[in-house]
Amino acid sequence: MSESAHPGTDTVGGVDDGRSPRGGLSLARLDRALATWVPARRTRIVLGVALAVSIVFAVAGVPFTPSFLDHLRLDIDVYRLGAQTWRAGLPLYNDGSMPFTTSGLWLPFTYPPFAVLMFLPFTVVSLAAATIAITASTGVCLAVVVGVVLRRLDIGTADNRIWLTCAVTACCLWLNPVWMTLGFGQVNVVLMLLVAVDMYALRPGSRWRGVLIGVAAAVKLTPLAFLLVFLAFREWRVVARVLGTFVALGALGAVWAPRDSLHYWSKTVFHTDRIGDLSGALNQNINGFWIRAFPDAHGVQQVLWMVSSVLVTALAVVALRRCPPGISTPAVAVTAVWALLVSPTTWAHHWVWCIPVLLTLAMVAARTDSTRVRRAYTLLVASGLFVFAVAPFQFLPQQETRHWTVLGDLIGNLDLWWGLALLITVWAVPPRTTGNGPGVDRTTRDALRVDHAPGVAATRTNVHPREALSPFRQRVRSARARRPRSPS
């Protein structure tokens, strides 16, 4: 695409205004406009400045708030201390073995032994340098995740997607899960990048699919939950690669830290309460809800959590069955939300997965001919933006949750209610889209297009992603079909 004739004016081509049936503006109009958008030089400058300002505030904090110039990155301090403890030959998972953090807190190391190997570089630099490194890595990884998701969803074009990525990333930096991830110095976004590249960027049938998820799970167990989507669609080879990579890296950790590995896999992994106060408002999942609802009945909490998790898992499976065939973007969204809901611990900053999920929901709403689907998914997007931008739970008592009222329970668990609403919506209102929707892989969508060249029959309308043709093979097949046959 060429830039606008007037440098200060953005160019949007096309004649379809993309309005909703009632004449109002819609996500469909935005989607179609982005497909022909040529950002002017002034727009590109504004987007670059917006991203830079968001990054500065994410690092330095917002003026006139407690976050301003607060350089404490608690979790990166714990990662660094854990690696230092291992290098000193001390037991990693024994209570009291970890030193106190710079803020005077004692926090245990909760990650698998393999993760220590990943954190070793932080032991040779200062905490300030480690903080800069994890903050910069998080920002870069977030931008890459956004870019990968935009490409998979076919939002915008190859020419303007870099500027769309800047715009979306600048906005995402202000979402509460991302803000908290940066504030704590967490690795959530880094792990999300590994899973996102595996799920969104690798082609169906790739021999590498599942490997990056296995790597992420070796650092933190939660990504193993993405096995659900592969099991649901019988992608047995991918399941084997995920588990094989996870076990291999776990074995590597056992070679380097045999004593700590034995302790972790035989004891520590089963003590979920060791991670932190699960009754606090930050634990935004089913388990946290029941713990806060019955603070003095541990047995009741456990039973209700297990029963609820089974029911939510069943709901997630039927929701997956309502998604388009194959490892589609709605299926990935369902799996991510299910994992966050049923996990024993889901801190509010773990909900960084709201970014690819919200983008997917927005494209379902934009690319459907069904009024029912459009309204349902637009409502999910609007409510999700409110929940993750405002984070209402932070306005309630964070630790004294036993004093929450009924209204407090409703407001303080909005992440949970939104996640359940998503699963119910996907089950009740399947995410059906028209030809360019996010429910189909890019490769599959190419295979589903009808070739109008003479002598070429319409392609099949129900093609599994693993059967989809690459663009090169499509061109070869079309050329062969056009080739004149010699007379018999």
What pLDDT shows up at residue 478? 58
What pLDDT shows up at residue 346? 93
| Sign of torsion over alpha carbons 406, 412, 418, 423 | negative
pLDDT average, residue stretch 369-374: 91
Q: Which of 202, 236, 270 is the last residue of a domain?
A: 270
Confidence of residue 390 (pLDDT cuts 50, 70, 90): very high
Kindly state whether residues 123 and 252 are assigned to the same domain.
yes
Split into its structural domains, the chain has a count of 3
What pLDDT shows up at residue 135? 87
310/293 Cα distance (integer angstroms): 19
348/183 Cα distance (integer angstroms): 12
Kindly state whether residues 175 and 38 are assigned to the same domain.
yes
Within-domain flag for 487 = no
Kindly state whether residues 430 and 450 are assigned to the same domain.
no
Q: State the burial class of residue 466 (Cβ atoms within 10 Å of its Cβ: 0-12, 13-18, 19+).
A: middle
Within-domain flag for 296 = yes
What phi and psi, each to the nearest 5 degrees, are found at residue 10? Answer: -75, 150
Least reliable range by pLDDT among 217-226, 289-298, 348-357, 370-379: 289-298
Query: Going by DSSP bridges, is the β-strand pair 11-12/37-38 parallel, antiparallel, or unpaired?
Result: antiparallel
Q: Which of 210, 237, 270 is the last residue of a domain?
A: 270
Q: How many CA atoms lie within 13 A of 225 on its CB side?
A: 24
Kindly state whether residues 435 and 446 are assigned to the same domain.
no
Kindly state whether residues 232 and 305 are assigned to the same domain.
no
Within-domain flag for 450 = yes
Kindly state whether residues 190 and 328 are assigned to the same domain.
no
Kindly state whether residues 357 and 446 are assigned to the same domain.
no
| Sign of torsion over alpha carbons 253, 255, 260, 262 | positive
pLDDT average, residue stretch 2-20: 44
What pLDDT shows up at residue 474? 52
Are 37 and 2 contacting, i.e. CB atoms less than 8 angstroms apart? Answer: no
Helix (H/G/I), strand (E/B), else coil: 332: helix
Within-domain flag for 484 = no
What pLDDT shows up at residue 477? 53
Are 143 and 169 contacting, i.e. CB atoms less than 8 angstroms apart? Answer: yes
Are 315 and 424 contacting, i.e. CB atoms less than 8 angstroms apart? Answer: yes
The mean pLDDT of the chain is 82
Is pLDDT at 373 greater than 60 in this prediction?
Answer: yes
Kindly state whether residues 431 and 454 are assigned to the same domain.
no
Is pLDDT at 63 greater than 90 in this prediction?
Answer: no
Kindly state whether residues 177 and 321 are assigned to the same domain.
no
95/100 Cα distance (integer angstroms): 12
Kindly state whether residues 242 and 313 are assigned to the same domain.
no
The closest of 383, 354, 388, 373 to 439, measured between CA atoms, is 373
Kindly state whether residues 262 and 356 are assigned to the same domain.
no
Are 292 and 279 contacting, i.e. CB atoms less than 8 angstroms apart? Answer: yes
Domain of 468, in residue numbers: 442-479
Confidence of residue 463 (pLDDT cuts 50, 70, 90): very low
Confidence of residue 62 (pLDDT cuts 50, 70, 90): low
Within-domain flag for 187 = yes
The closest of 135, 83, 74 to 111, measured between CA atoms, is 83
Are 176 and 65 contacting, i.e. CB atoms less than 8 angstroms apart? Answer: no
Helix (H/G/I), strand (E/B), else coil: 37: strand
Within-domain flag for 486 = no
Least reliable range by pLDDT among 38-47, 191-200, 231-240, 309-318: 38-47
Within-domain flag for 4 = no
pLDDT digits (tens, 9 = 90+) for 24-45: 347 888 888 888 888 888 888 9
371/146 Cα distance (integer angstroms): 28
Residue with the two structure tokens 């009945």: 297
260/269 Cα distance (integer angstroms): 12
pLDDT digits (tens, 9 = 90+) for 296-308: 888 899 999 999 9
Are 175 and 223 contacting, i.e. CB atoms less than 8 angstroms apart? Answer: no
Residue with the two structure tokens 């929707």: 437
The closest of 190, 150, 177, 194 to 58, measured between CA atoms, is 177
Q: pLDDT higher for 326 or 342?
A: 342
Kindly state whether residues 452 and 328 are assigned to the same domain.
no
Within-domain flag for 114 = yes
Q: Which of 270, 299, 329 is the last residue of a domain?
A: 270
